[in-house]
Amino acid sequence: MSDTGTLPIGVFDSGVGGLTVVRALMERLPLESITYFGDTARVPYGVKSVATIEHFTGQITDHLLNQGVKMLIIACNTMAAVASQVVKDKAGSIPVLDVIDAGARTAVLESRSRAIGVIGTPTTVNSNAYARRMHALDGGVRVYSQACPLFVPLVEEGWLEHEVTRLTAQEYLKPVLAENVDTLVLGCTHYPLIKPLVQDVVGPEVRLVDSAITVAEQAARKLAELGIANPGEHLPEYRYTVTDIPLRFQTIGERFLGRSLGRVEKVDW
């Protein structure tokens, strides 16, 4: 075992939403240290142009690589959709995982009818990244995507069970359900928080794919395969860095993480 094993996994997102991935990683890989970066000053990315997202993603990748990480995980679906190549080019030999690849693989493996729905931000849906990934894995699947821009603010508002969120979900999901999908990918960091509500709206026959959980599974496999899992001689360390600490940051962050956030550092760029 080289020293690489004790380095943290770098996880990043446009804001606090990627903490759903950190939460899944903490549960699946309790010995691993994690360094999280959230671009809270510039969120949301889901409505920004590809060129801007690529530029921001490059800056974050450089920052995490300078800190020293053994693996990078793109927790943000929007960044994964349009800027994963930027990350891979900079990372060199450091493995890069992302929520889109993980979610697409699980959906293709688990769908019986081969009709799959994907929901995400407008940029993620417009990029067609999930459909491209799924078609690369299985040319026969049919993919129906739907942008759900109102979900991010509703989740940040904490309206996880609210009637307004339910009505919004019914409206957004109507066209996807009309295609008789048997699998629905939650293609945005924020959506795992409204999983019970979405499950209720789509009914028990539709399987929901939570990209946070599937990317944590992938990370566990990759660490084992490369022999760089943490030997666990010390307690794991969690570090959170953001570009702004807005009002209600702690409350929202802890809702995503499902536990206390601890110390949060702010970088000045």
Q: Does 130 bind ligand DGL (CB under 6 A)?
A: no
- Annotated catalytic residue within 80, 94, 188, 223: 188
Sign of CA dihedral 99, 76, 242, 153: negative
Tokens of 92: 């060199």
Can you tell me the distance from the alpha carbon of 102 to that of 26, in angstroms, rounded to the nearest whole number?
17
- Annotated catalytic residue within 16, 76, 80, 219: 76
Taking the complex as a whole, the smallest distance from the CB of residue 85 to ligand DGL amounts, in Å, to 17
**Contact with ligand DGL (CB under 6 A): which of 152, 181, 194, 202?**
152
**Contact with ligand DGL (CB under 6 A): which of 64, 76, 108, 181?**
76
- SS3 for 2? coil
CA atoms in the 13 A half-sphere facing the CB of 211: 31
Taking the complex as a whole, the smallest distance from the CB of residue 91 to ligand DGL amounts, in Å, to 20
Q: Does 98 bind ligand DGL (CB under 6 A)?
A: no
Q: How many chain residues touch ligand DGL (CB under 6 A)?
A: 18
Buried-state track 210-227, b at ≥16 Cβ within 10 A, e below 16: bbbbbbbebbeebbeeee
Q: Does 57 bind ligand DGL (CB under 6 A)?
A: no
Can you tell me the distance from the alpha carbon of 53 to that of 211, in angstroms, rounded to the nearest whole number?
20
Can you tell me the distance from the alpha carbon of 46 to that of 153, in angstroms, rounded to the nearest whole number?
12
Q: Does 218 bind ligand DGL (CB under 6 A)?
A: no
Taking the complex as a whole, the smallest distance from the CB of residue 13 to ligand DGL amounts, in Å, to 5
Can you tell me the distance from the alpha carbon of 10 to that of 33, in angstroms, rounded to the nearest whole number?
9
Taking the complex as a whole, the smallest distance from the CB of residue 112 to ligand DGL amounts, in Å, to 27
Active site residue 148: no
Q: Tokens 């993480």 correspond to what residue? A: 257
**Contact with ligand DGL (CB under 6 A): which of 111, 189, 214, 241?**
189
Can you tell me the distance from the alpha carbon of 110 to that of 95, in angstroms, rounded to the nearest whole number?
25
What residue ranges bind ligand DGL (CB under 6 A)?
13-15, 17, 43-46, 76-78, 120-121, 124, 152, 188-190
Residues marked active site are found at 76, 188
